[in-house]
């Protein structure tokens, strides 16, 4: 099958404006409990489009999570009660602005979590948060999946296609099938392009706005839109729906995670914590005045709490644990 005919499918989600409308209906119904006419109008809005119903169901579920699960986090119930009480004392417009802000922030995380769980459940190969696994495919190709990643296989008589639906993989071409089936080439797909390796080992990391390709050996042809570029060993590219461009100089070793490591070179603390946060549940962040601190070193991923505990030994920072899942790094006093 030709590269141009391979679909680069996109995820279906309710638009933010539709989510806002669902929040608006939720607030109106909460402030007018028992209003039959308003309930019928809401039902009519939900029936107008499948996206309306999807947004409604997700906002309802999110609200239930905020009402129930968030209260179980120590100290969080105070903030939630304050938010609810403040909203009740405000006018409808101010309450909408206040609560919709909180719900929209939560809805982004809820949507991501919901999609991730669904992808993991239905994918041919998948890993959970903090998990890394390797798989040997029937044709001899080796794939390594990083944390929270998922791939699907589409092997037919005409092609061998590996679809990266989420996260990051290392692909190592090889095996008898690679040499014996020239008419059945291996291709890897992300949402931003198609990648055709030639006796290669490469890392592919898919993000919301782009995919990063880093070739460690061999060569990989990149096909995205109308652009085709050949990436050689030692090169990295960023691919989005508009262009293929060389990636900036990397401040960490790509693929070190296969060995359970993060290897940094003069990396910003803020960027480092974003990377570590991929391997643990909960919230991990740092204060603005600490984000630009730099660090270099080799860090083990097997226990991220131990990893974080090392940082105050090398940087002027201190750890603040609000809960086990809510950690902030601040400048040391």
Q: What is the DSSP string of 124-187?
A: SEE--TT--EEEE-TTS-EEEE-TT-EEEEEE-SS-EEEEEEEEEEEEE--SHHHHH-TTS-EE
Asked if 322 and 266 count as a contact pair (C-beta separation under 8 A), the reply is no
Instruction: Say whether both 236 and 135 belong to one domain.
Output: yes
Instruction: Say whether both 176 and 237 belong to one domain.
Output: yes
Instruction: Say whether both 111 and 155 belong to one domain.
Output: no
Residues 314-328: pLDDT tens digits?
999 999 998 888 999
Asked if 108 and 55 count as a contact pair (C-beta separation under 8 A), the reply is no
Instruction: Say whether both 22 and 80 belong to one domain.
Output: yes
**287, pLDDT greater than 50:** yes
Asked if 171 and 162 count as a contact pair (C-beta separation under 8 A), the reply is yes
Distance CA 141, CA 195 (A): 15
Residues 43-81: pLDDT tens digits?
899 888 888 888 887 777 666 655 554 444 444 444 444
Which of 93, 122, 151 corresponds to the end of one domain?
A: 122
> Which tokens in the block code for residue 324?
């086990």
Which of 97, 122, 147 corresponds to the end of one domain?
A: 122
Question: Which among 231, 297, 295 is positioned nearest to 267, based on CA atoms?
Answer: 295
- CATH number of the domain at 151, please: 2.60.120.1440
Maximum separation of any 2 CA atoms in the chain, in Å: 73
Which of 122, 148, 174 corresponds to the end of one domain?
A: 122
pLDDT at 63 (0 to 100): 62
Distance CA 270, CA 290 (A): 8
Distance CA 259, CA 143 (A): 14
Domain ranges, residue 270:
256-331
pLDDT confidence band for 112 (50 / 70 / 90): low
- CATH number of the domain at 264, please: 3.55.50.30
Tell me how many domains the chain contains: 3
Query: What average pLDDT does the segment 223-230 reach?
Result: 92
Work out the number of other CB atoms within 10 angstroms of the CB of residue 64: 10
Instruction: Tell me the backbone φ, ψ of residue 103, rounded to 5 degrees.
Output: -70, -35
Inside any domain, residue 2: no
Rounded to two decimals, the pTM is 0.65
Instruction: Tell me the backbone φ, ψ of residue 174, rounded to 5 degrees.
Output: 160, -175
Percentage of the chain exceeding pLDDT 90: 50
* Per-chain mean pLDDT for the chain: 80
Distance CA 75, CA 265 (A): 38
H-run or E-run covering 205? strand 193-206
DSSP state of 209: S
Instruction: Say whether both 97 and 30 belong to one domain.
Output: yes
Query: What average pLDDT does the segment 271-277 reach?
Result: 96
> Which tokens in the block code for residue 55?
């947004």
């Amino acid at each position: 099958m030709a590269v141009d005919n391979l679909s680069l499918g996109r995820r279906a989600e309710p638009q933010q404006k539709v989510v806002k409308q669902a929040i608006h209906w939720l607030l109106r119904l909460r402030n007018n409990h028992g209003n039959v006419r308003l309930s019928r109008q809401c039902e009519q809005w939900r029936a107008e489009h499948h996206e309306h119903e999807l947004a409604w169901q997700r906002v309802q579920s999110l609200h239930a999570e905020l009402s129930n699960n968030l209260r179980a986090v120590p100290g969080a119930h105070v903030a939630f009660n304050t938010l609810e009480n403040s909203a009740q004392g405000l006018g409808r417009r101010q309450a909408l602005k206040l609560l919709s802000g909180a719900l929209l922030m939560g809805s982004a995380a809820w949507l991501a979590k919901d999609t991730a769980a669904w992808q993991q459940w239905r994918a041919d190969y998948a890993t959970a948060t903090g998990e890394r696994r390797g798989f040997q495919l029937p044709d001899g190709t080796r794939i390594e999946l990083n944390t929270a990643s998922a791939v699907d296989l589409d092997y037919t008589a005409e092609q061998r296609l590996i679809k990266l639906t989420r996260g990051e993989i290392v692909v190592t071409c090889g095996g008898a099938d690679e040499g014996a089936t020239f008419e059945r080439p291996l291709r890897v797909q992300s949402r931003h392009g198609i990648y055709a390796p030639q006796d290669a080992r490469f890392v592919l990391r898919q993000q919301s706005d782009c995919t990063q390709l880093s070739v460690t050996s061999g060569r990989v042809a990149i096909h995205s839109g109308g652009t085709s570029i050949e990436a050689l060993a030692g090169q990295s590219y960023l691919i989005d729906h508009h262009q293929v461009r060389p990636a900036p100089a990397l401040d960490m070793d790509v693929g070190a995670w296969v060995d359970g490591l993060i290897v940094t070179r003069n990396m910003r603390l803020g960027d480092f914590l974003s990377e570590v946060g991929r391997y643990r549940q909960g919230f991990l962040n740092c204060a603005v005045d600490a984000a630009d601190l730099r660090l270099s070193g080799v860090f083990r991923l097997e226990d991220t709490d131990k990893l974080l505990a090392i940082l105050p030994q090398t940087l002027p920072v201190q750890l603040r644990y609000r809960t086990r899942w809510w950690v902030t790094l601040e400048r040391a006093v």
